[in-house]
Amino acid sequence: MTRDRYVFLGLVLLFAAVNGVLLANGVLAADWEGLGVIVAAGLTLALYSFLYKDNPLFKVAENIFVGVATAYIFSQNWYQTIYGEVFVRLSALGGEDSASGDWWLLAPTVLGLLMLTRFSRRFGWLSRFSFAFFVGLGAGLTIPRTISSFILAQIEPMLQPLSWSVEGFNLLVILVGVVAVLVYFFFSVEHTGVVGKVSRVGIWFLMISFGASFGYTIMARLSLLIGRVTFLLDDWLGIM
């Protein structure tokens, strides 16, 4: 524990020294932007300290950022919608130039406010009306669009003539794959005999697609790392 403490102290001093040099050399300007880069670099390194082990520095950075992000998200909801639409339009109600239709805006406002009763023991049941509206309407809107966009539109391109060509072969592979995957996720029949064989084929297709997702996910995480390393080397240290 004490060794770790010295390591951290040393790193903090090193970080301060590096920033001192950067400021003295003019790599970083002594203004808000320069300070921003220093803060961002400090937080980035604090979070990376997790790689050594879970530690207080990491947790402090993690929690501060959760707080900042929460406030940012609040501000976006406040200025754009709750103030920008609801407050502005409702406070114009009854005024001479307000359209009569604006009264309708009271309905979602009330539903929205009722939602906030959820944490109250006595009035919590009122929030059920908001959720009933929200989830019920969402469920209704989903059904026809799911059928159109995900069932019909996805089936139709497979119902094409098969042929002796590369396209025909690919179409056949897709047909076999889709059917096999659906059979794999079919729970009414025991997976033995022909059904068992087809579902094995389904697993192969699933595995190839998981492999593709796996490769792409690795790519995504590395891209983020590249972004952060670029920030450290270029924006902070200025050595790229």
Partner 1 sequence: MLNKALSWLAGLVCLVVVASDCRGQAAAGGSVLPLIADVAAFDTPNDAGGSITLTWARSRSIPESAIYKAYIAEANEGPYYLASEIAGGANLQSEEPETFGYGDEAQDAHFLHIAEYAGREGVISLQNDKTYYVRLELHSGNISTRNPVLTASAEGNYFNWTKLNNIVLGALLSFLILGFISLARRRDLYIRRIGGLEALDEALGRATEMGKPVLFIHGLRDMSQISTIAAVNILGRVARRTAEYDAALRVVAPDPVVMSVSQETVQASYFEAGRPDAFNPDHVFVAGTEQFSYAAATEGIMVRERPAAHIMMGYFYAESLLLAETGSTTGAIQIAGTDAFTQLPFFVTTCDYTLMGEELYAASAYLSREPKLLGSLKGQDAGKAIIIAAIVLGALLATVDIPFLTQIFTPH
Partner 2 sequence: MIFLSRTLPVIVALCFGVLGIGIYYVPHAAAQNIERELALWLRIVFAFSYLLGLYSLLNLHWQRIRQRVEGWGYSAMVYAGFGLMMLFVIYNDGQGPFAPQAEGTAAENGYQWLFEYVQVACSSTMFSILAFFIASAAYRTFRARTPEAALLLVAAIVVMLGRVPIGAYISDYVPAAADWLLNVPNLAAKRGILLGVSLGAIATSLRIIFGIERSYLGGGDE
Partner 3 sequence: MIQWLMNIDRRIIFVFVFLGVALPLLANVFLPIRPTRDVIAVYDQLEKVAQDEGVVLLSFSYGASTEPEMQPMARAILRHCFSRNIKVVAVCLWPEAPGLAQQVLEEIGDEFGKTYGVDYAFLGFKPGNFAVVLNMGQDFRDAFPQDNWGTPLEDLALMRDVRTLRDFDFVFDLAAGDSIEFWWIPYGQEKYGFPFAGGCTAVMAPDLFPFLQSGQMVGLLGGLAGAAEYETLVGRQDKATAGMSAQSMAHLIIVIFIIFGNMAFFLSRRR
Restricting to residues 169-228, which ones interact with partner 3 according to CB under 8 A? 174, 209, 212-213, 216-220, 222-228
> What distance in Å separates the CA atoms of residue 117 and residue 71, rounded to the nearest whole number?
21
Q: Report which secondary-structure segment, H or E, holds 131.
A: helix 127-146
227: amino acid identity, one letter: G
Per CB under 8 A, contacts with partner 1 among 190-219 are: 190-191, 206-207, 210-211, 213-214, 217
Q: How many CB atoms within 10 Å of residue 181?
A: 19
- For residue 185, CA distances in Å to 165, 200, 202, 209 come to 30, 11, 9, 15
Nearest-5° Cα angle at 39, 60 to 14: 85
The distance of closest approach from Cβ of residue 162 to partner 1 in the complex, given in angstroms and rounded to an integer, is 5
∠ CA 97-98-99, rounded to 5°: 115
Residue 234 binds to partner 2 (criterion: CB under 8 A):
no
Judged by CB under 8 A, which stretch of 3-11, 12-20, 65-73, 191-199 contacts partner 2?
Answer: 65-73
Footprint (CB under 8 A) of partner 2, residues 149-188: 150-151, 154-155, 170, 173-182, 184-185
Return the residue of 81, 91, 120, 163 that touches partner 3, per CB under 8 A.
81
Place of tokens 């009264």: 103
Contact set with partner 3 (CB under 8 A)? 51-52, 69, 72-73, 76-77, 80-81, 84-85, 141-142, 145-146, 148-150, 153-154, 156-157, 174, 209, 212-213, 216-220, 222-230, 233, 239-240
